[in-house]
Amino acid sequence: MNEFGGNWTENKIEILIEYAKAYLTIMNINASKYNWDLLYFDGFAGSGQIQGDDNTSTTIVGAARRILEIKDPRSFDLYYFVEKEKRYADILRHKTIPFYPNKKIHVVNEDCNVKIESLSRFLSNNGKRFKALAYIDPCGMQLNWKSLQTLEKHSVDVWILVPTGMGVNRLLKNDGNISDAYSSKLEQFLGMSRQEIFSFFYKESQVLTLFGEETITTKEQNAIDKSAELYKERLKTLFKFVSEPYVLKNKMNSVMFHFFMASNNKNALRIANQIIKKYNNLNY
């Protein structure tokens, strides 16, 4: 079972479900008119169940099963769930396929990066008639920018959980001395060079000390918000519209993640922003 991150885990799933229902309502009219098929892609699907982290037996139903439950106004025509951990993929398969015999469900035990690229190839070739809704819900910085880049210009609405506090900010050391391993993780995740990342998050200034002039490196004060702004700008290079983020905070009120929706459809943006606003207001 995957571990539960508190209230925001539930809110994140509720946001996705609310959006998926609105998406299916609009697509229900257009799909028959234009002969479209609808695909749901989940890149970090989990086991279908999320376990509480508070030593209680609290569990919540994961997004994959919640999405499968939706049948009104319609279902998706195809569901594609990706999970890298074999035992989670096996559990998810057993908890979904037998329960929805009329739905086309694939559960694959693979790396999401590999399968996003396959999704992109599919949408460009045999799957041209498909419109897709994708959910990218990693626990860390597993999504590579170059994988996401392959979705550029496709008819896909993507919800992405970005580990701004949990990931990016933790790798950006205060003194700017970022190890090669951390730097290459940041480069892979943001699709930027080491120098570009450094210039975005750090300032260098010359100060006069007892031993002469020295260079002082200072990290941006609000690196978490800055990394959310940066990721949003990066997403805008791939998609026409990017929503405001839903901000996920832990019990100590520290920001862990920002949750965005990116799309090439203006209506998608409007709906996503309405839902996000409602849930951000619940945070206060």
Ligand X SMILES: C[S@@+](CC[C@H](N)C(=O)[O-])C[C@H]1O[C@@H](n2cnc3c(N)ncnc32)[C@H](O)[C@@H]1O
Q: Which residues bind ligand X (CB under 6 A)?
A: 2, 13, 44-46, 50, 62-63, 82-85, 88, 111-112, 137-139, 142
The least distance separating ligand X from the CB of residue 260, rounded to whole angstroms, comes to 16
Q: d(Cα 149, Cα 234) in Å, to the nearest integer?
A: 10
The least distance separating ligand X from the CB of residue 69, rounded to whole angstroms, comes to 13
- Closest residue to ligand X, based on beta-carbon distance: 62
Sort strands 59-61 and 49-51 into parallel, antiparallel or unpaired: antiparallel
Taking the least distance from each CB to ligand X, the nearer of 88 and 231 is 88
Taking the least distance from each CB to ligand X, the nearer of 159 and 202 is 159
Around Cβ 160, how many Cβ atoms within 10 Å? Answer: 22
The least distance separating ligand X from the CB of residue 251, rounded to whole angstroms, comes to 18
The least distance separating ligand X from the CB of residue 213, rounded to whole angstroms, comes to 46
The least distance separating ligand X from the CB of residue 52, rounded to whole angstroms, comes to 13
Q: What is the DSSP letter of 58?
A: -
Element (H, E) at 207: strand 202-209
Q: d(Cα 263, Cα 16) in Å, to the nearest integer?
A: 14
What are the backbone dihedrals phi and psi of residue 109, each rounded to the nearest 5 degrees, phi first?
-95, 90
Taking the least distance from each CB to ligand X, the nearer of 138 and 165 is 138
Q: d(Cα 155, Cα 157) in Å, to the nearest integer?
A: 7
The least distance separating ligand X from the CB of residue 6, rounded to whole angstroms, comes to 13
The least distance separating ligand X from the CB of residue 4, rounded to whole angstroms, comes to 9
Q: d(Cα 87, Cα 107) in Å, to the nearest integer?
A: 12
Taking the least distance from each CB to ligand X, the nearer of 8 and 44 is 44
Q: d(Cα 89, Cα 109) in Å, to the nearest integer?
A: 6
Taking the least distance from each CB to ligand X, the nearer of 46 and 167 is 46
CB 262 within 8 A of CB 244: no
CB 205 within 8 A of CB 218: yes
282, two tokens: 């619940």
239, two tokens: 């998609």
DSSP letter string, 66-115: HHHH--SS---SEEEEE-SSHHHHHHHHHHHGGG-TTS-EEEE-S-HHHH
Taking the least distance from each CB to ligand X, the nearer of 96 and 263 is 96
Taking the least distance from each CB to ligand X, the nearer of 62 and 167 is 62
The least distance separating ligand X from the CB of residue 75, rounded to whole angstroms, comes to 18
82, two tokens: 């990706």
Taking the least distance from each CB to ligand X, the nearer of 83 and 117 is 83
